[in-house]
Amino acid sequence: MCIANVQYKKPSADGAKQSKNLLRYLTYRESRDKKARYVAGRERWIDRGMGGSVGEIIQRCDDLKSDHVLTFSLVMNPNPDLIALVAPEERERFVCELTEGVVDDFFEARGLDTGIEMSYVLHHRLTDDPQSPGLHDPHTHMVLPGTVYDEEHGGRVPLFFSRNQKVSHIELLHDVTERAMAAQMERYVGPDWEQRIDALLAVREREHLIVNTEPHGWMRDDAGDDWPVWCGTRRTDEKTAAVGTYRWYPDPSADDDETFRLEFRPLLAGLPPEQAAFFARAFAREMDRDVDKLKELAAFVSRMTNAEREQLIAEMRGYEPPEPGIAPDLDL
């Protein structure tokens, strides 16, 4: 539902240099290959006690460091499939509220009712997932100090994230994040958000059944091995789908080279689901078992406007199956 990741920098010369470089990167980049978006009259960093600029945050980290930690950095990254259910104009507020709510609830669960200083920046990157690239993927990067005020001790004490058999603050963080994410989804999307995401995942499962049919073609990898390929659809969200190829790929999470998982590679995206299904069937017949020809067909249709695609579909006898005994003209 949402990834919550924690790292820290040591109070050393190298740690200080790494922290400064990280802050500059987060300030001026949305992602590795995209510069930051600026809004006139608005600071990049949202200041909740750690400063609103690189210089202020660096100084604040140094002022509040412990003997072992200069600063903690956290990432809050909701699942893009869930974000797609949120109205585009509400996504920024959604992620900011999630970020601040998780931090407050997490430290309250740890018994630190006084809270903690932090600053965070919101990034609007696009997904680079090979199966569904280009989805809106808003997320935040947070900066926390190495110490926290403790009323019982009457002063600041070292902040730590334990992960052992007795207590696991990382597991607690994940639990708090999951509960907060569920509450945000119900507030912004509605009580039926789980049913809607389940329905989307169920559609994708049905789309996988294409591999139970005869392969539509073959693809040769760099090692010279031939792999069966199927032309099909993958539902992107509730309103759009993509046309592309299914193939078995080595599973990067497996410890061996003999475990594979079925993955999709889009060739034509952003289509209404009914339109995507139509072109997937047409491409499968027209590609003639040649993946290069499939790519040419997809490129040809991608250059069309939606009106031109609808006209082409009408000329090819429309969405409904042809009458028995009448062969459709699928020449694109």
pLDDT digits (tens, 9 = 90+) for 169-209: 999 999 999 999 999 999 999 999 999 999 999 999 999 99
CATH number where 117 lies: 3.30.930
Q: Are residues 156 and 46 in the same domain?
A: yes
Establish if 320 belongs to a structural domain. Answer: no
Phi, psi of 95 (to 5 degrees): -70, -35
Residues of the domain holding 123: 2-191
Spatial distance between the Cα atoms of 7 and 296, rounded to a whole number of angstroms? 45
Q: Are residues 38 and 132 in the same domain?
A: yes
Q: Are residues 184 and 248 in the same domain?
A: no
Establish if 323 belongs to a structural domain. Answer: no
Q: How many domains does the chain have?
A: 2
Q: Are residues 249 and 217 in the same domain?
A: yes
pLDDT at 322 over 80: no
Spatial distance between the Cα atoms of 313 and 306, rounded to a whole number of angstroms? 11
Residue 14: burial class (beta carbons within 10 Å; 0-12, 13-18, 19+)? exposed
Task: Output b/e per residue, 171-187; b: 16+ Cβ within 10 A.
Answer: ebbbebbeebbeebbee
pTM score, two decimals?
Answer: 0.84
Q: Are residues 187 and 272 in the same domain?
A: no
Establish if 22 belongs to a structural domain. Answer: yes
Q: Are residues 91 and 184 in the same domain?
A: yes
Q: Are residues 101 and 14 in the same domain?
A: yes
The span from the first CA to the last CA of the chain, in angstroms, equals 41
pLDDT digits (tens, 9 = 90+) for 127-167: 988 999 999 999 999 999 999 998 888 889 999 888 776 77
Establish if 180 belongs to a structural domain. Answer: yes
Establish if 166 belongs to a structural domain. Answer: yes
CA atoms within a 13 Å half-sphere pointing along the CA-CB vector of 26: 26
The pLDDT of residue 259 is 85
How open is the CA angle 254-256-259, to the nearest 5 degrees?
65
